[in-house]
Each structure stands twice: as C-alpha cells, then as structure tokens.
Structure 1
Amino acid sequence: MKMIAEYLERAHQFERMATHESDPKLKADLEGQAEAYYELARKRAQEMGLPSPKTKGQPG
C-alpha cells in the first residue's frame, strides 16, 4: 500500500507543474490531480487511524 508521504509528494509535484503552466485547461487538470492525491492521503490516514494530513486549501 502507498504511504501517505508518497501521496503528498505526488500532490506537490502536480502543484509545482500547475504553477508553471500557462494553459488554463491543463493548469486546472494538474490542480485536479493534485487534489485527488491529497484526497488519497486523507483517506489513507483515516484508514490507518492517523490525523488527516494538512493539505493545501485546508485550514490550519
């Protein structure tokens, strides 16, 4: 099973790509991929009984 850190790293990679993208559609797609990986990290943490990782767009 994937580790939470791996999901978070992948999300960060997609975010970095999105920040350098000028095409609005591709930028939105990359940001969507990042959010999907953040969601995987949150779900994995929940399955493991761990606190939800702090991710972009979440308070705190």
Structure 2
Amino acid sequence: DLGCKDLDLLGAYQKICTGVNEAVKILGAKADYNPPAPKRCPNLSVNGKKISGNAQTTKKAHLR
C-alpha cells in the first residue's frame, strides 16, 4: 500500500498528481492542480497550459 488504500477517487487522483508535481518542481516550474469538472479527470497545468492528464481504473478495490 502506497498510502492510497483508504482514499476516495479524488483523493487517489491527488496522490497520483503529487509525484508529477514534484517532477515539475525539479524542472523549475510551478504546476497547479485543477480539480475535475463532473465526469472528467483532474489535471496539472503550468501557466494555464495542461501538462498532465490522469486516468485510472479500479478492479476489486485495486487501483490500476
């Protein structure tokens, strides 16, 4: 378990985006987390431009 076991769907997305955000920081940029609109996935943006979109699926309570 990577700390995602008890997270809801949005919490899992935030956890996934954290790693991408850390990589962006290493490159010297600041990414903004954009919560999803209904039926959409959250994403990260830099200067208003989307740099990372994320999707996930679960099977028997396991994130894939």
Structure that is richer in strand per residue: 2
Q: What TM-score results when the alignment is normalised by the length of structure 2?
A: 0.35
Structure that is richer in helix per residue: 1
Q: What TM-score results when the alignment is normalised by the length of structure 1?
A: 0.37
| Structure ranking higher on relative contact order (CA contacts 8 Å, 6+ apart) | 1
